[in-house]
Amino acid sequence: MAGKPKKILLIEDEPFLSSLLKNRLQKENFEVLVAKDGEEAIKFLKSSTPNLILLDIILPKKSGFEIMEDIKSDPELSDKIDIPVIIISNLSQPEDIQKSKQLGAIEYFVKAKTSIDDLVSKVKTFVK
């Protein structure tokens, strides 16, 4: 019998992509929590510990960069600092990619250049 499904926090404000990713990850036996903005994401993180975070950068209320900064600086989130973060964004400037890596992202995908299958494959390599 399979163990408990791994939990992924998907932080994405675009409803179509969010739904698509959630459904695809659930088919792979992941439990998926969805946050539609940065503040909702922080609330989830304060009450739950996902195995991986899929994070958009451009979000309402708090950007993906701010969320990563909060994980590093908020004492209530200090136990979340080792959770792998994969960025999924339309920002493709080298500075944005560099900043996300400096803040602790393990991978950076540009939405327009990445298929859902590639993203799910990458998630599976980090969450075993």
CA atoms within 13 A on the CB side of 35: 30
The answer to whether the beta carbons of residues 71 and 77 sit under 8 Å apart is: yes
Q: What is the mean pLDDT of residues 95-112?
A: 96
User: To which H or E segment does residue 67 belong?
Assistant: helix 64-73
pLDDT the model gives residue 3: 72
Which structural domain range is residue 117 located in?
Answer: 7-126
pTM, entire model: 0.95
Q: What is the mean pLDDT of residues 59-71?
A: 97
d(CA 5, CA 3): 6
Computed over every residue of the chain, the mean pLDDT equals: 94
Looking at the domain assignment, is residue 116 inside a domain?
A: yes
Q: What is the mean pLDDT of residues 47-75?
A: 96
107: domain CATH number?
Answer: 3.40.50.2300
Looking at the domain assignment, is residue 1 inside a domain?
A: no
**Which of 37, 46, 84 is CA-nearest to residue 64?**
37
Looking at the domain assignment, is residue 2 inside a domain?
A: no
What is the domain count for the chain?
Answer: 1
pLDDT the model gives residue 101: 96
Looking at the domain assignment, is residue 102 inside a domain?
A: yes
